[in-house]
Amino acid sequence: MSETFTKSMARNIFYGGSLFFFLLFLALTFDTESALPDRDNRAAITEQVAMGKRVWEENDCVGCHTLLGEGAYFAPELGNVYNRFGSTDAIKAFIASRPKDGVPGRRSMPQFNLSEEELDAVAAFLKYTSEINTNNWPPNIQG
């Protein structure tokens, strides 16, 4: 290498690299935007699912649980709870069966005293989230 590294060479590498990665960013953005409609399940959002999300937020479930990887890690992931339990009735029964004061000696899910309508809505919301195409996330059924 008899040449020395000059300012103009550095500038050309900088501008060339910047242009390359900007174009790569645009291409990946376009690819993502074109793939999203195939993964969309907005048609499955009913009034009951929306109510379940409201109940989820009002009771701060995300303060302990994760949902599709977002939230706290004190309690199990609920993005695939419908797949684990197999039915909305099992989800409703589990939520309703929580002891009033929790399990002695450990932190556990409290009894929220939800009405039957609210239990149906939360179960519908969790069923909806389990049907979202997440590219196999979480990687195992236990969350």
- Specify whether 16 is located in the same domain as 81: no
* The two structure tokens encoding residue 84: 């684990």
pLDDT of 2-18, one tens digit each? 678 899 999 999 999 99
- Specify whether 50 is located in the same domain as 24: no
Determine whether 97 is exposed, middle or buried from the number of CB atoms within 10 Å of its CB (0-12, 13-18, 19+). exposed
Q: Which residues of the chain have pLDDT under 70?
A: 1-2, 102-106, 143
- Specify whether 31 is located in the same domain as 96: no
| Single pTM value for the model | 0.73
The C-alpha atoms of residue 41 and residue 132 are separated, in whole angstroms, by: 7
pLDDT of 45-62, one tens digit each? 999 999 999 999 999 999
Q: Is the Cβ–Cβ distance between 143 and 76 less than 8 Å? A: yes
- pLDDT over 70, % of the chain: 92
- Specify whether 55 is located in the same domain as 122: yes
- Specify whether 76 is located in the same domain as 15: no
DSSP string, 20-54: HHHHHHHHHHHHHHHHHHHH--GGG--HHHHHHHH
Say how many domains are in the chain: 2
